[in-house]
Amino acid sequence: MPTGLACAEQVNLDDTEARPRAELECCVDYTAQHVPAPGTGISEEQWAALAGDASFVNCCTALIVGVDADAISYREAEPVRHGCCFGDVVAPEAELYTRTLCTPWGPPVPPALDAYAPSEVA
């Protein structure tokens, strides 16, 4: 691991393979310790501090890539979603909108059920 990075080796948004599960779990814990409590808001100074923390940025990047690769679930990473996906910490917000964790439309959901389809009985 590069000197000074907590939890995971250097990750880039272009990576297609996720970091190992243990690193992703460590990253959830690390980022959760640094993000203010939900609903409290984040000041400009706090955003700047998060963006300046190389381990925080790297862990967020690992989680974004990990959710895309199905190595960790959206729900597991959701507690740190706000700190990782918004405030231009990892990348400009709009650039992250296509990433599963950072989509502004919420988590993926299964397709709707057809209310008029005949029911199947096992």
pLDDT at 1 over 50: no
CB 8 within 8 A of CB 27: yes
Instruction: Look up the pTM and report it.
Output: 0.81
> For residues 26 and 115, which has the higher predicted lDDT (pLDDT)?
26
Q: Name which of 58, 50, 122 is nearest 88 in CA terms.
A: 50
Q: What number is the average pLDDT over the span 98-116? A: 78
- CA–CA separation, 43 and 25 (whole Å): 26
Average pLDDT, the chain: 87
- What was the pLDDT predicted at 42? 84
Amino acid at 47: W
Amino acid at 39: G
Q: How far is CA 20 from CA 13, 34, 80, in A?
A: 16, 22, 18
Q: What number is the average pLDDT over the span 74-101? A: 91
> For residues 121 and 83, which has the higher predicted lDDT (pLDDT)?
83
Percent of the chain exceeding pLDDT 90 equals 61
CB 75 within 8 A of CB 107: yes
- What was the pLDDT predicted at 90? 93
- CA–CA separation, 19 and 41 (whole Å): 29
- pLDDT tens digits, one per residue of 31-80: 999 988 777 788 889 999 999 999 999 999 999 999 999 999 999 999 99
